[in-house]
């Protein structure tokens, strides 16, 4: 899959694409269905399949906040979209210039003049242009006038009424419900980061950990998780282990910034500097402060055993109800 960070100088081979437009944060089951609709149209026209998303997320531009709402950083989002067969991702910068662009300019200058879109697929609540002036009806009228197709794709629901959304997934992760989040996503939610040097306490306890800071990514509920860890080389998985992980501020030692500490079962290699993807499979318990080192080590052992038992029984992400 090709990735373009700007809409200028699009190669001729990628013009004429059917373009699915949205934020695609999480690339959840609703996003996957929208891309599938665009893929069907692209196949029928023998045209490229494209996704247009914005980086950063528009909410991060309009309502900056110290904690991130982002479910999937660009690298992970691109990999998930590539797995859906997308030919090109237009990850366009969302800045003051883009925010101030009129709905007409977005369609004429970005979608048509630069991307050469032959068709677009959007959700029913799609809004675009300065002040969100453009609605689906606006896009439909412009499509008729300017000669490109416009498809409104009804978003996927869990029970006929509750729409699958990135907001619901964020709420599930904040509520320590990674399995519910996975049911909405269609894949396990994961944290990706590079392993950093820590204080080496885990090794002293007999449970060496890979320490990672989340960076610009949603912080899930603090606590202990059963996890699956992939060791990455660029975007290729070169190793995979079950494990147990702690995410939070470590009540016994107090870290200023929340930290992910993952212990990989049956692994004795060097992970410093490696890029890991840590999938949250099940929540075991909240963080806690213990009366001394022995009590802490005993609890870590219990957490590790529970994680092993959970992971033996866990396969693919749970299916949605309804």
**Active centre residues (catalytic):** 261
Q: For residues 299 and 285, what is the distance between their CA atoms, to the nearest angstrom?
A: 11
- H or E segment to which residue 203 belongs: helix 201-205
C-alpha distances in Å from residue 21, one per residue of 17, 52, 249: 12, 5, 38
Alpha carbon of 104 to those of 4, 166, 208: distances in Å? 22, 28, 56
Could you tell me how many helices (H) and strands (E) the chain has, helices first?
Answer: 10, 12
User: How many CB atoms neighbour CB 199 within 10 A?
Assistant: 11
| 173, 181 contact by CB (below 8 A) | yes
Asked whether 98 and 124 are in contact (CB, 8 A), the reply is no
CA distances, 192 to each of 79, 129, 212, 249 (Å):
12, 32, 9, 18
Q: 205: helix, coil or strand? A: helix
Rounded CA separation 31/254 (Å): 38
Nearest to 195 by CA among 304, 281, 302, 269: 269
């Amino acid at each position: 899959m090709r990735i373009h960070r700007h809409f200028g100088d699009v190669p001729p081979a990628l013009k004429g694409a059917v373009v699915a437009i949205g934020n695609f944060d999480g690339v959840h089951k609703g996003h996957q269905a929208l891309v599938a609709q665009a893929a069907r149209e692209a196949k029928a026209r023998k045209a490229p399949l494209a996704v247009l998303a914005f980086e950063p997320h528009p909410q991060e531009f309009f309502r900056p906040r110290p904690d991130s709402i982002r479910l999937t950083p660009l690298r992970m989002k691109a990999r998930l979209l590539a797995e859906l067969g997308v030919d090109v991702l237009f990850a366009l910068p969302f800045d003051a210039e883009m925010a101030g662009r009129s709905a007409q300019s977005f369609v004429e200058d970005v979608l048509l003049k630069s991307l050469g879109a032959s068709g677009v697929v959007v959700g029913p609540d799609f809004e675009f242009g300065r002040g969100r002036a453009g609605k689906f009806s606006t896009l439909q009228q412009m499509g008729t006038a300017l000669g490109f197709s416009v498809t409104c794709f009804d978003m996927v629901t869990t029970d006929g009424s509750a729409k699958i959304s990135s907001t619901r997934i964020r709420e599930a992760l904040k509520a320590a419900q990674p399995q519910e989040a996975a049911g909405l996503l269609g894949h396990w939610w994961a944290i990706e980061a590079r392993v950093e040097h820590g204080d080496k306490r885990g090794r002293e306890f007999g449970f060496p950990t890979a320490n990672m800071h989340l960076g610009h990514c949603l912080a899930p509920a603090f606590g202990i998780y059963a996890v699956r860890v992939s060791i990455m080389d660029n975007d290729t998985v070169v190793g995979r282990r079950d494990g147990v992980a702690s995410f939070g501020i470590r009540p016994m030692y107090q870290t200023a910034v929340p930290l992910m500490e993952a212990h990989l079962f049956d692994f004795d290699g060097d992970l410093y500097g490696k890029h890991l993807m840590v999938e949250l499979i099940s929540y075991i318990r909240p963080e806690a402060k213990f009366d001394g080192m022995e009590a802490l080590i005993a609890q870590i052992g219990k957490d590790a055993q529970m994680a092993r038992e959970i992971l033996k029984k866990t396969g693919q992400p749970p299916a949605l109800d309804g």
